[in-house]
């Protein structure tokens, strides 16, 4: 069973999310996992249940990942969509 996201129309197959086989599979699985994680229906339920510490930790973690792996130009064009 897949889901359809309005933004990218890519079906995400839950059974295809597996980690530990090889780098290519891990990358594909991470993309699928993050797509499912950012589903609006999930976020509407999950976000209000997060503690303040969970929100701060999540934002800090994702910000650090972007800072580590994106140039300033990439950050502005890809994340901020400027």
- Domain check: are 58 and 28 in the same one? no
- Domain check: are 62 and 44 in the same one? no
- Domain check: are 63 and 44 in the same one? no
Q: Pairing between strand 11-13 and 2-4?
A: antiparallel
Q: What is Dmax (Cα atoms) for the chain?
A: 38
- Domain check: are 44 and 60 in the same one? no
Beta bridge partners of 4: 11
pLDDT tens-digit profile of 18-43?
Answer: 999 999 999 999 999 999 999 999 99
* The pair of three-digit structure tokens given for residue 40, joined into one six-digit string: 């609006």
Q: What is the pLDDT of residue 16?
A: 84
- Domain check: are 57 and 42 in the same one? no
pTM greater than 0.85 (yes/no): no
Which residues span the domain enclosing 24? 1-49
- Domain check: are 57 and 41 in the same one? no
Other beta carbons within 10 Å of 32: 20
Q: How many domains does the chain have?
A: 2
């Amino acid at each position: 069973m897949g889901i359809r996201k309005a933004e990218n129309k890519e079906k995400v197959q839950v059974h295809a999310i597996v980690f530990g086989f090889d780098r290519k599979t891990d990358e594909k699985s991470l993309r699928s996992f993050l797509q499912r994680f950012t589903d609006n229906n999930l976020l509407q339920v999950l976000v209000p249940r997060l503690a303040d510490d969970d929100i701060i930790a999540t934002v800090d973690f994702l910000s650090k990942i972007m800072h580590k792996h994106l140039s300033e130009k990439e950050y502005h064009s890809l994340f901020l969509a400027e």
